[in-house]
């Protein structure tokens, strides 16, 4: 009964990123602006894909799922940060913390798999364009997207159940800006070594394997690009691949560094800094890098704006 009281009947305290200093107020303003920008960008991307029939392709179908994941992910974390900063209260209930862990792991794991699927889509489109309609038909891309969600959910259920099953009999203060697994493990008063091995296995499945697949895909794409006769097309394709890989490294790099290190090597400041990349920054950059640099998306946006102007007239 004592263990149950410790685990289920106590709130946690999120120490967060902010304090009452002027620097924190500035940082808060930046985070708030990024949040609004991220929601707007990704919601606009989903709207454009839904409204414009020219964007009804496997690539943009996958991008719409990525945008939806990014909206959910940043909404799972930043509004709580904003509310805590404005109210001065940093508490989060056990149920609220459980929901944050579950949704965060679902979206992080699902997005890792989805990015690998998207790299496969680009590989087929550039390296095997004649076979693209067969290899990436609509129902297959739908299955790949659904599989990313399903596997992410199943993995999240397992880890959430394990993490919240541990007794938290020390401080309830989580030195982080959201309930994240490594920060939660530091509060446990029992040995979590066996569970951490399971985290490493998940890291291999959701991080190392997808990242390797993405890297191989883009190497093959670059080799194909270098064989193009048009220097303009070659330069444009190389630039696109470069931007994609920068965003991928920004996402996977901090993620791997956080989840695949022993608990003893973690420091709160470092973990919070790294988490900003895969929870806040990459959801903001994804629509810009993957979508709004694309002429088809810009044309769809132009058509919607012109349509709205004509309707008002």
The residue-averaged pLDDT of 175-204 equals 90
pLDDT value at 237 more than 80:
no
* Contacts for 137 with CB less than 8 Å, ≥ 6 apart: 58
**Confidence at residue 20, expressed as pLDDT on a 0 to 100 scale:** 53
Per the CB < 8 A criterion, the answer to whether 73 and 104 are in contact is yes
Percentage of the chain with pLDDT > 90?
Answer: 51
| Axis crossing angle, helix 94-127 with helix 231-259, rounded to the nearest 10 | 150
Provide the strand spans (E) within 99-227: 173-174
pLDDT value at 264 more than 80:
no
**Confidence at residue 153, expressed as pLDDT on a 0 to 100 scale:** 97
Distance CA 232, CA 229 (A): 9
Summarised one tens digit per residue, pLDDT across range 240-263 is: 788 888 899 999 999 999 998 877
Main-chain phi, psi angles of 14, to 5 degrees: -90, 115
Q: pTM for the complete prediction? A: 0.90
Q: Is 92 exposed, middle or buried (0-12, 13-18, 19+ CB in 10 A)?
A: buried
* Opening angle at CA 120, ends 252 and 147, nearest 5: 75
Domains and CATH numbers, the chain: 16-311 (1.20.1070.10)
The residue-averaged pLDDT of 119-140 equals 89
Handedness of CA 33, 37, 39, 40 (dihedral sign): positive
Per the CB < 8 A criterion, the answer to whether 282 and 71 are in contact is no
Q: Which two tokens stand for residue 139?
A: 């129902």
* Contacts for 158 with CB less than 8 Å, ≥ 6 apart: none
Among the residue ranges 6-20, 76-90, 178-192, the one predicted with the least confidence is 6-20
Distance CA 51, CA 24 (A): 40
How far is the first Cα of the chain from the last one, in angstroms, to the nearest whole number?
A: 69
């Amino acid at each position: 009964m004592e263990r149950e009281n410790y685990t289920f009947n106590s709130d946690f305290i999120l120490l967060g990123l902010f304090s009452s200093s002027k620097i924190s107020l500035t940082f808060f303003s930046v985070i708030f602006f990024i949040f609004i920008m991220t929601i707007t960008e990704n919601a606009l991307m989903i709207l454009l894909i839904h409204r414009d029939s020219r964007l009804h392709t496997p690539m943009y179908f996958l991008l719409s799922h990525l945008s939806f994941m990014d909206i959910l992910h940043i909404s799972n974390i930043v509004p709580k940060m904003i509310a805590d900063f404005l109210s001065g209260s940093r508490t989060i209930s056990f149920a609220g913390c459980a929901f944050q862990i579950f949704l965060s792991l679902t979206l992080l794991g699902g997005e890792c798999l989805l990015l690998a699927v998207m790299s496969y889509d680009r590989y087929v489109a550039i390296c095997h364009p004649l076979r693209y309609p067969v290899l990436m038909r609509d129902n297959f891309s739908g299955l790949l997207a659904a599989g990313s969600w399903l596997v992410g959910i199943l993995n999240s259920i397992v880890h959430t159940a394990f993490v919240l099953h541990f007794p938290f009999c020390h401080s309830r203060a989580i030195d982080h800006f959201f309930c994240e697994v490594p920060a939660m493990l530091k509060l446990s008063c029992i040995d979590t070594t066996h569970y951490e091995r399971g985290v490493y296995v998940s890291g291999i499945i959701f991080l190392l394997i997808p990242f390797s697949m993405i890297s191989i895909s883009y190497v093959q794409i670059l080799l194909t690009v270098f064989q193009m006769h048009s220097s303009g097309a070659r330069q444009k394709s190389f630039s696109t691949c470069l931007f994609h890989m920068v965003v991928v490294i920004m996402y996977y790099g901090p993620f791997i560094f956080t989840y695949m290190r022993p608990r003893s090597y973690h420091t709160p400041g470092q973990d919070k800094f790294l988490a900003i990349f895969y929870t806040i920054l990459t959801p903001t950059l994804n629509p810009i890098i993957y979508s709004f640099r694309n002429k088809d998306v810009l044309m769809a946006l132009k058509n919607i704006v012109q349509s709205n102007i004509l309707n008002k007239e």
